[in-house]
Amino acid sequence: MELKANTKIKEIYDKYPWIIDFLPTIAPHFSRLQDPEHRARMFGIATLEIAAGGGGLDVDELIGIIQAEIKKRDGGDIKQERKEVLKGIILDVHAGVEMDILRDRFAELVKDVSATEIAEIEQLLIDEGLPESEVKRLCDVHVEVFKQALDGKDIPRPPAGHPVHTFMVENRASENIMVDIENVLCEIPGIATKADMVRHREQLSTLLEKLALIENHYVRKENQLFPKLESYEVTGPSSVMWALHDDIRMAIKIARRELEEGNPKAVTSLNEIIITIRDMIYKEEHILYPMSLETLTDRDWVEVRDGESEIGYSWIEPMVEWSPDIAEEEQKTVGADVMGTVALDTGALTPEQVNLMLKYLPVDITFVDENDRVAYYSAGRHRIFPRSPGIIGREVNRCHPPTSVHIVENIVNSFKNKEKDEAEFWINTGGKTIHIVFHPLFDDDGNYKGTIEVAQDVTEIKKLEGEQRLLDWTI
């Protein structure tokens, strides 16, 4: 709406009823318009020029203020309207409406949609009760609906060393491996046979194992990127994408078994894996990464990067170290000390939490300090070897019978001299198999700080066969 000096207040009110409540925030004089009788009298004659004079304002100044508010409110309304319509698209997808109809129906509306808005809508659906499994099941279809809009947008171009840059370089590496697999599959004309598998099984198996290294790519997303997004209450990607990661893992496992058996079905499985991974790459680079870059701060990304090397990379490693300019006072380290907690390398726990963790671990723990004195033992409910508070502070060589003291001394001296880094035993007693292992502890400067002994009843563990991937509680 174009505003001029002779534009009547009633014309603005008819289109923007909120103007009556907004004008008094500019000048108290306008509060009189909130009275229906006064408003009825003034609407016939009051123009912006007259209103500005009454409020002690320049008419151009008043027009500028009102235009800015209209732009602000319209922008918000448009965004909300787009969210509601896009939400309707996804619900229509779930209702089975044909894709061509949805694309044509909303092509104009979604041309300016952002990756963040798509993520927000899926999050909204989950928050409103749509099962995550349903969002996952039709995630591919959601992307297809928005693909035209997303294709026109630039994918992220972060600097080398940035976690997103590393993810994207890994994507290019995975694409090269998938092309190699496709080149082999092209040598199999028509429906694959046992003979085809004999000729190509070894080559395909080698390439599949190489592609399976994509596991580190997904684990870094799950354990480094997703937790950061969740700290901003963005949980949609972690719940939906993680499930898709598991689908890819299972598909690789199936294809691996089919190749080992020489089963021609492996050809179909490999093609499906390639399609699924390429779709995931599209989702990452057109939705996840742009949305993550909009949401996370440089400090967040530094913390994402700092934990990556512990997990590992897929096929490549960053060639340079990305170091954003973050003010020292804004920097935050993993395991930062919080009031009442003990700062650890990867977190912060209260003394009570530390004690409970050690107490409930299904192992016996005994710690001997650098002075060869017993400093701690775990007071678990089912200790394997008896301990009592009387041994705390006692020299470790006095805690063993004379016949085995020399063994203990030999272990400790070998640890101190860095000749050995583990001593392992297992014994059978009382119908149980007990596994015992000793490890030396060193600080960051390499100084010996003591020895930890861990004993575990492995009787039942030795009986395990196959897999149990689902919880099996007998009620």
Lowest mean pLDDT among 26-35, 157-166, 180-189: 26-35
Say if residues 374 and 393 touch (Cβ distance below 8 Å): yes
Residue 331 predicted with pLDDT over 60 = no
Lowest mean pLDDT among 58-67, 140-149, 284-293, 428-437: 140-149
What's the pLDDT score for residue 262? Answer: 93
H, E, C per residue of 307-320: CHHHHCCCCCCCCC
Helix or strand run (H / E) with residue 141: helix 139-151
What's the pLDDT score for residue 134? Answer: 62
**How far apart are the C-alpha atoms of 89 and 106, rounded to whole Å?**
8
**How far apart are the C-alpha atoms of 387 and 364, rounded to whole Å?**
10
pLDDT digits (tens, 9 = 90+) for 55-101: 788 888 888 888 877 776 665 555 566 666 666 776 777 677 776 77
Between CA 195 and CA 202, with CA 201 as vertex, the angle to 5 degrees is 135
pLDDT band at 111 (very low <50, low <70, confident <90, very high): low
Say if residues 441 and 450 touch (Cβ distance below 8 Å): yes
Q: Which runs of E-coded beta strand occur in 38-104?
A: none
Q: Which of 393, 394, 365, 396 is nearest to 379 (CA)?
A: 365
What's the pLDDT score for residue 209? Answer: 96
Q: Which of 78, 100, 187 is nearest to 147 (CA)?
A: 100
The residue type found at 418 is: K
**How far apart are the C-alpha atoms of 175 and 316, rounded to whole Å?**
13
Q: Token pair of 209, please?
A: 């194992």
- For the beta carbon of residue 323, count every other beta carbon within 10 angstroms: 11
What's the pLDDT score for residue 344? Answer: 85
DSSP state of 372: S
Mean pLDDT (whole number) for 103-125: 61
Say if residues 409 and 416 touch (Cβ distance below 8 Å): no
Phi, psi of 465 (to 5 degrees): -140, 155
- Model's pTM, two decimal places? 0.58
**How far apart are the C-alpha atoms of 76 and 70, rounded to whole Å?**
10
**How far apart are the C-alpha atoms of 300 and 292, rounded to whole Å?**
10
pLDDT digits (tens, 9 = 90+) for 185-234: 988 877 888 999 999 999 999 999 999 999 999 999 998 999 888 888 88
**How far apart are the C-alpha atoms of 436 and 455, rounded to whole Å?**
4
Q: Which of 37, 26, 39, 96 is nearest to 65 (CA)?
A: 26
- For the beta carbon of residue 135, count every other beta carbon within 10 angstroms: 20
What's the pLDDT score for residue 329? Answer: 42
**How far apart are the C-alpha atoms of 367 and 236, rounded to whole Å?**
43
Phi, psi of 124 (to 5 degrees): -60, -40
Q: How big, in percent rounded to 5, are the helix, strand and coil portions of the chain? A: 60, 10, 30
Q: Which of 118, 124, 174, 121 is nearest to 148 (CA)?
A: 118
Say if residues 201 and 184 touch (Cβ distance below 8 Å): no
**How far apart are the C-alpha atoms of 62 and 421, rounded to whole Å?**
79
Cα torsion 130, 133, 139, 145 to 10°: value is -30
* More confident position, 340 or 185: 185
Residue 329, judged by CB atoms within 10 A of its CB (0-12, 13-18, 19+), counts as: exposed
Bridge partners of 424, per DSSP, are 437
Owner of token pair 């008094």: 24
Q: Token pair of 218, please?
A: 């997904």
* More confident position, 106 or 31: 31
Q: Which of 318, 61, 62 is nearest to 166 (CA)?
A: 318
Residue 472 predicted with pLDDT over 80 = no
Q: Which of 67, 63, 150, 145 is nearest to 103 (CA)?
A: 145
Distance separating the N- and C-terminal Cα atoms of the chain: 69
Say if residues 359 and 378 touch (Cβ distance below 8 Å): yes
* More confident position, 197 or 389: 197
Q: Which runs of E-coded beta strand occur in 306-459?
A: 342-344, 347-349, 364-369, 374-377, 423-429, 432-442, 448-457
* More confident position, 281 or 147: 281
Q: Token pair of 58, please?
A: 């320049």
Q: Which residues contact 189 (CB under 8 A, 6 or more apart)?
A: none
pLDDT digits (tens, 9 = 90+) for 261-283: 999 999 999 999 999 999 899 88
**How far apart are the C-alpha atoms of 214 and 206, rounded to whole Å?**
14
pLDDT, averaged across the chain: 82
* More confident position, 150 or 8: 8
What's the pLDDT score for residue 78? Answer: 55
pLDDT band at 117 (very low <50, low <70, confident <90, very high): low
